[in-house]
Amino acid sequence: MSGLSLSEDSKNALHNESMAVKKLKKLFSYGLCLAPFMLFYLLFEVFPLVWVLVNSFVYEEEYSLENYMELFNSEFMTQAFENSLYLAIVSSIIALVLALLFINSIRTTNGKIKNILISLVNICSNFSGVPLAFAFIIILGVNGAVTLLLKNMGLIDGFNIYGSAGILTIYVYFQIPIAILLLYPAFDAVKEEWHEAARLLGATNCQYARKVVIPVLAPSIFGTFVILFANAIGAYASVYALTAGNYNVVTVRIAALVSGDIYLDPNLAAAISVILMVIMLIVVILNSLIIRRYNYVKNK
Amino acid sequence: MSKTNSRLYHNTVISIVIGILLLPIVATFLYSISTRWGATILPDGLTLNWYLKLLTEERFLWSFVRSLGVCFAAMGLCIVLMLPAIFVVYYRLRYLKFICNMIVILPFAVPPVVGSVGLIQIYSDGLLPISGTFWILIFTYFTVIIPFVYRSIVNSLEAINYVDMIDAAKLLGANTFKAFIYVVLPNLKKGLLSAIFISISILIGEFVFANILVGTRFETLQVYLYNTKAVSGHYSSALVIFYFAFIFVFTYLASVFSKVERKSVKRRKN
């Protein structure tokens, strides 16, 4: 009797041990699958960001707020932030309005044309950065075809593509396709019957748009605005290629401080980067607060 | 508003927006095939010389080869590193999905200029002095495409019943590794292809990291394009159109494969 129970005990012990080994092996194999990715992710995504955050508080090898003080006291830097914010907000709003009008119109066309138009927009969404800046110089430069056309028609005296109006135009251009592609699926929530119902109740098209369509779409519109805003405030290639870094925006300042050939100050660049990220974070938080107000749409 | 009026309004809106979007592309194309386009609204004469010049320019061809090399290396690295990680999370550690979604959104949220500030400092000296070489581009490009590769693979994985597939393979005597390689992976083919095409079309257009981290020490297509702007507008235009045709093909292929994916998902649900 006792011999039998002993052997059972040892069996259990053996069993437990092999279970533990198995568990360890399992954990090891999980680690083996996850570790390589995490290593590269930490090295090339997380560490650079941590470096930026830490070194923005380092001035002449000591922890201080000096970099931030320098930022807020420099008119040149605050101007860069003003320009960036202006470009980001205005270009996002213009692109949103154009996208809303465009989607509203293509919804009235038949399926095939709709698909072709959306594919076309998708292709245009790839046209940004350096190639876009070149194209803009060709059509809107001093001797650009569109500049000459408008001049001949007597509409303008000349157009300075390297000034704020020209840069705003290029920002609006690369924001429009993104706005359309992001907002287009949201319009599926708007039912055609609602339009008929609103009309039966005596609403005009304008009232219908203001009281029904916009509130239903509001969460998507604000969400799209956040992405457009982040896209514009972080944009660098287009404005750099267009003006060779002569127009004062935040990203151009950052790049000049880490890779320029006149004056390098990576820690100041880090401080600008932190402020830039904080601005983006504030917009995201504001957006989620606003969207919460519109939750009733989803609940119904 | 009467019916013809509203039709007219909608057509006008569509034409204006599409016109704005196409104008720079059409103008660049015209510029690339014109002999001279000075102070007139339309070009003087037409020629294909700029394309001929482009295709015989060694500096251009090398920059294109370099770009392709870095893009494919980064994409290969990304897929090899992400496949096992995604698989473990979706098969065994499903409670990590939420964290995964946060991890993959970070490269999308951080502007490249901000990322390059830290990268250039960390990798200029110290243990891994790879700044200014193509290595840093490969590793940085790996982070750039994480969100896109993740989405493509996960969409594809969620469209198939991978848990039952693996269980069936195990019943027939395969271990998890074999089940993944021989049963699940072939079913992810379309997702992987869509990931490949979308990654290449994004990376071939990348300028910020390439210019700040490496510059002319390893000239990629976009950096070369930027550096040709002083040479000739017509030549640069031909280059832009060449680049645009290239990404056009790749985004088209990506959309074809993601469409096939979506259709198969629909069928499953029906």
**CB interface of A with B, residues 153-182, below 8 Å:** 173, 176-177
> Across the A/B interface, how many CB contacts are shorter than 8 Å?
218
Q: Would the pLDDT of A114 be above 60?
A: yes
The secondary element (H helix, E strand) that includes residue A24 is helix A2-41
pLDDT, tens only, A240-255: 999 888 899 999 999 9
Which of B152-169 are b and which e, b meaning 16 or more Cβ less than 10 Å from the residue's Cβ?
bbbbbbebbebeeebeeb
Q: Which two tokens stand for residue B37?
A: 């386009």
Q: B111–A138: do the CB atoms touch at under 8 Å?
A: no
Q: Would the pLDDT of A235 be above 90?
A: yes
Q: What is the distance in angstroms between the CA of the first residue and the CA of the last residue of chain A?
A: 70
The beta-carbon neighbor of B115 closest among A30, A48, A129 is A48
Band of the pLDDT at A19, cuts 50, 70, 90? confident
d(CA B46, CA A245): 34
CA-wise closest residue to A209 among A100, A285, A67: A100
d(CA B114, CA B131): 16
Best B79, B89, B114 residue to mutate vs chain A (most A CBs within 10 Å): B114
Q: What angle do CA B230, B236, B238 make, to 5 degrees?
A: 160
Do B142 and A37 form a contact (C-beta atoms < 8 A)? no
Q: Output the pTM of the full model.
A: 0.87
Q: Which two tokens stand for residue A73?
A: 């006291």
Q: Which two tokens stand for residue A57?
A: 């508080």
Mean pLDDT (chain A, rounded) = 87
Higher-confidence residue of A271 and A245: namely: A271
Q: Report in angstroms the alpha-carbon separations of B154 from B31, B106, B139, B146.
A: 43, 17, 22, 12
Q: A134–B229: do the CB atoms touch at under 8 Å?
A: yes
- What sign does the dihedral A89-A95-A100-A103 (CA atoms) show? negative
Determine the distance in angstroms separating the CA of A93 from the nearest CA of chain B, rounded to an integer.
Answer: 15
Do A6 and A13 form a contact (C-beta atoms < 8 A)? no
Interacting residues of A122 by C-beta distance below 8 A, sequence separation 6+: A177, A181, B251, B255
* pLDDT at residue B264, rounded to an integer: 55
Q: B142–A44: do the CB atoms touch at under 8 Å?
A: yes
Determine the distance in angstroms separating the CA of B47 from the nearest CA of chain A, rounded to an integer.
Answer: 17
Of A139-143, A229-233, B177-181, the range with the lowest mean pLDDT is A139-143
* pLDDT at residue B86, rounded to an integer: 93
Length of chain A: 300
Q: Would the pLDDT of A122 be above 60?
A: yes
Q: Would the pLDDT of A294 be above 80?
A: no
- Reported ipTM: the value is 0.87
d(CA A39, CA B259): 33
d(CA A157, CA A79): 28
Contact list in B for residue A30 (CB cut-off 8 A) is 88, 92-93
pLDDT, tens only, B220-231: 999 999 988 777
Q: B120–A270: do the CB atoms touch at under 8 Å?
A: no
Band of the pLDDT at A300, cuts 50, 70, 90? very low
* pLDDT at residue A2, rounded to an integer: 47
The torsion defined by the Cα of B146, B148, B154 and B156, in degrees rounded to 10, comes to -140
CA-wise closest residue to A228 among A45, A100, A77, A108: A100
In this structure, the number of other CB atoms found within 10 A of the CB of residue B53 comes to: 15
pLDDT, tens only, B137-187: 999 999 999 999 999 999 889 888 888 999 999 999 888 888 999 999 999
d(CA B131, CA B125): 8
Per DSSP, the three-state class of B44 is: coil
Domain ranges of chain A: 2-55, 66-299
Contact list in A for residue B122 (CB cut-off 8 A) is 47-48, 51
Q: Report in angstroms the alpha-carbon separations of A114 from A73, A104, A220, B14, B199.
A: 52, 11, 20, 10, 26
Q: Would the pLDDT of B258 be above 80?
A: no
Q: B92–A108: do the CB atoms touch at under 8 Å?
A: no
Q: Which two tokens stand for residue B103?
A: 């991890």
Report, as an integer, the average pLDDT of A228-235: 94
Of A42-46, A177-181, A203-207, A281-285, the range with the lowest mean pLDDT is A203-207
Q: What are phi and psi of B198, to 5 degrees?
A: -70, -35
- Residue recorded with tokens 């940085």: B140
Residue B68 identity? L
Q: Which two tokens stand for residue A35?
A: 């570790």
Q: Would the pLDDT of A206 be above 90?
A: no
* pLDDT at residue B262, rounded to an integer: 57
Interacting residues of A10 by C-beta distance below 8 A, sequence separation 6+: none
Q: Report in angstroms the alpha-carbon separations of B193 from B79, B138, B149, B196, B254.
A: 11, 20, 10, 5, 7
Q: What are phi and psi of B232, to 5 degrees?
A: -155, 135
* pLDDT at residue A268, rounded to an integer: 93
Q: B117–A52: do the CB atoms touch at under 8 Å?
A: yes
Best A25, A32, A37, A152 residue to mutate vs chain B (most B CBs within 10 Å): A37
Domains and CATH numbers, chain B: 1-47 (no CATH), 57-269 (1.10.3720.10)
Contact list in A for residue B23 (CB cut-off 8 A) is 139, 146
The beta-carbon neighbor of B23 closest among A137, A139, A251 is A139
Band of the pLDDT at A115, cuts 50, 70, 90? confident
pLDDT, tens only, B119-138: 999 998 878 888 888 999 99
Q: B115–A41: do the CB atoms touch at under 8 Å?
A: no
* pLDDT at residue B229, rounded to an integer: 79
Q: Nearest residue on chain B to A128, judged by CA atoms?
A: B205
Band of the pLDDT at B261, cuts 50, 70, 90? low
* pLDDT at residue A56, rounded to an integer: 93
The secondary element (H helix, E strand) that includes residue A63 is strand A62-63
Q: Which two tokens stand for residue A21?
A: 């080994």
Q: Report in angstroms the alpha-carbon separations of A199 from A194, A206, A209.
A: 8, 11, 11
Do B118 and A50 form a contact (C-beta atoms < 8 A)? yes
> What is the homologous superfamily of the domain A66-299 according to CATH?
MetI-like (1.10.3720.10)
Q: B27–A145: do the CB atoms touch at under 8 Å?
A: yes
Phi-psi region of B173 (alpha: psi -120 to 50; beta: other; left: phi over 0): left
Residue A238 identity? S
Per DSSP, the three-state class of A58 is: strand
pLDDT, tens only, A86-109: 999 999 999 999 999 999 899 888
Mean pLDDT (chain B, rounded) = 87
Per DSSP, the three-state class of A59 is: strand
pLDDT, tens only, B61-102: 999 999 999 999 999 999 999 999 999 999 888 898 889 988
Percent of chain A with pLDDT over 70: 92
Q: Would the pLDDT of B215 be above 50?
A: yes
